[in-house]
Structure 1
Amino acid sequence: MSVEGEAPIGAGAVLRAPEHRVSPRAIPFWRVSALIGDVVLVVVALVAWLVVPGAPGWVGLVVLALAAGSVAHVVLMPRIRYRVHRWEVTDTAVHTRSGWIGRESRVAPISRVQTVDSRQGALMRLFGLASITVTTASAAGPITVDCVDAETAREVVARLTAITAATEDDAT
């Protein structure tokens, strides 16, 4: 049996949800990011429909459906992502949960951490956000914590660096 927000992991042990939410500024960041991408997509589709001579009328309906889907994407996706995305760093592991349609939960033992990086694109800088990427000795690839406050990202990177430096196990 599991508690709400927790998933059974075998032999009576339970994996709880990560403790921290991403920054509330992630919502407008994701909204603006989606808006930029969706506007470009809809404009390209609209121009293609208008420029191609003799395009069937149903193509206009497809462009209209694409525009309606884009509006839904811009309105709904950021709030759903904010409710789902969580992260936590402890002395023993890095744990993330992400997604807005599907869900992904990742846990990496500190002993498997190889590198810790932070990233801040131009749009993220405008919103005071950063992403943290934890590369591990895993075929599943790195673990990413998106859209945390830039200051929090610096603190987490420093903390993870200190924790991994003090860990005696080899991350290979």
Structure 2
Amino acid sequence: MTDPTPQLRPPRHQVSRSAIRYWTVHAALRWAVVLVGAGMLAASTQVGATAEVAGLITLAVVAVAHTIVMPRWRYAVHRWETTPEAVYTQAGWFTQERRIAPVSRIQTVDSERGPLEQLFELATVTVTTASAKGPLRIAGLDAATAERLVDELTAVAQAAPGDAT
């Protein structure tokens, strides 16, 4: 007899390859705001020009490295999977987290597409459960997959016995 309890394991599916471009642009935009702010602050201070320039160059190098490395690393790590019994997720880049939510614990399933995600035809699916740990988020899905996933999880959760608490 097999154990019906889902076991924590690596999920099978990667997110959309477009997530790499999305995460790259998202990081670049955030770093641009930081660099402009730092440049304005440096221009308004009385510190020597050499220290200001060195600080801005260091910040720019960190920004470029983060913008190049982080999206590819996240893509290599981020995974998801659904089965009739559970939803599996794996996310992060420095700190990596694997989570599992039994279908019987699902309370809501949502999809979100911010303006930048819409540009890249991506979506984030959020599965809210009765867990104190919080919802499971699957970011970087192509929009069509996200829509199918929301429909599938909603149907499976409605069919599951109990009240998801």
**TM-score range normalised by the length of the shorter chain:** over 0.9
Which residue pairs with 2:111 in the alignment? 118
Aligned to 2:146, which of 153, 160, 165?
A: 153
Residue 8 of structure 2 contacts residue 98 of structure 2 at CA under 8 Å; is this kept in 1?
A: no
Matches within 5 A, 1:47-126: 47-52=40-45, 54-56=46-48, 57-126=50-119
Give the letter aligned to residue 80 of structure 1. Answer: W
Matched, 1:42 2:35: yes
Q: Deviations over 1:46-81 (max 9, x none)?
A: 1110122x1244343222211110000111011100
Residue 107 of structure 2 contacts residue 164 of structure 2 at CA under 8 Å; is this kept in 1?
A: yes
Question: Equivalents in 1 of 2:11, 2:140: separation in Å?
Answer: 15
Matched, 1:164 2:157: yes
* Deviation at residue 14 of structure 1 after TM alignment: 6.5
* Deviation at residue 170 of structure 1 after TM alignment: 1.9
Question: Equivalents in 2 of 1:169, 1:21: separation in Å?
Answer: 31
Structure ranking higher on relative contact order (CA contacts 8 Å, 6+ apart): 2
Aligned to 1:29, which of 4, 7, 22?
A: 22
Question: Equivalents in 1 of 2:153, 2:120: separation in Å?
Answer: 24
Give the letter aligned to residue 161 of structure 1. Answer: T
Q: SS of the residue aligned with 1:73?
A: helix
Computed over aligned residues only, the root mean square deviation of the Cα atoms, in angstroms, reads: 1.4
* Deviation at residue 97 of structure 1 after TM alignment: 0.3
Which residue pairs with 1:135 in the alignment? 128
Matched residues, percent identical?
46
Question: Equivalents in 2 of 1:58, 1:137: separation in Å?
Answer: 52
Unaligned segments of structure 2, at least 5 residues: 1-5
Which residue pairs with 2:3 in the alignment? none
Question: Equivalents in 2 of 1:114, 1:60: separation in Å?
Answer: 52
Unaligned segments of structure 1, at least 5 residues: 1-12
TM-score after normalising by structure 1: 0.88
Question: Equivalents in 2 of 1:144, 1:95: separation in Å?
Answer: 10
